[in-house]
């Protein structure tokens, strides 16, 4: 397990609240999974600094990843290695948080998601949908 639990930043929480309102998806973990997967599918390396953990939204890794915890961990770890980063736990956790933050930011941008169907369309290869 890459980490036992993590807290979202206040801006991430606020963005997820808006995403929840637009999509009707009420579970933080589901929205965070979508955000992570979107970011991992992007070829660029996520930039910025690791988000603060200053909101009251805290999630266990097992809740976030569910029955696919080992798969999420393997995908993130491989992406970390592919992007030229060390495979130590501190780097790995930071990289996970950067990807999660980038995905949340993407889905919260104005006009990105207006409904749950927009979220589903975002999973299609570019040019389809």
Q: What is the per-residue pLDDT across 54-81, written as a single tens digit (0 to 9) for each?
A: 888 899 999 999 999 999 999 999 999 9
The model carries a pTM of: 0.89
Say what the pLDDT of residue 91 is: 86
How far apart (Å, rounded) are the C-alpha atoms in residues 81 and 95? 10
Q: Any idea where the domains of the chain sit in the sequence? A: 5-121
Which positions of the chain have pLDDT values less than 70? Answer: 1, 124, 126-129
- Residue 69's CB: how many other CB atoms inside 10 A? 15
Fold of 5-121: Arc Repressor Mutant (1.10.1220)
Partners of 59 in beta bridges: 6
Nearest-5° Cα angle at 9, 55 to 95 = 140
Return d(Cα 21, Cα 41) in angstroms, integer: 25
Q: Which residues sit opposite 6 in a β-bridge?
A: 59
Q: What does the block give as tokens for 114?
A: 């207006």
Helix (H) or strand (E) holding 33: helix 28-41
Question: How is residue 9 written in tokens?
Answer: 């930043």
Question: Rg of the Cα trace of the chain?
Answer: 14
């Amino acid at each position: 397990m890459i980490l036992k639990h993590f807290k979202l930043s206040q801006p991430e929480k606020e963005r997820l609240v808006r995403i929840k309102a637009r999509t009707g998806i009420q579970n933080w973990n589901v929205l965070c999974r979508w955000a992570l997967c979107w970011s991992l599918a992007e070829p660029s390396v996520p930039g910025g600094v690791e988000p603060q953990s200053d909101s009251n939204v805290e999630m266990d890794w097992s809740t976030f990843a569910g029955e696919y915890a080992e798969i999420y961990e393997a995908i993130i770890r491989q992406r970390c290695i592919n992007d030229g980063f060390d495979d130590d736990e501190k780097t790995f956790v930071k990289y996970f948080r950067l990807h999660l933050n980038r995905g949340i930011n993407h889905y919260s941008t104005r006009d990105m998601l207006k409904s749950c169907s927009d979220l589903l369309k975002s999973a299609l290869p570019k040019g389809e949908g």
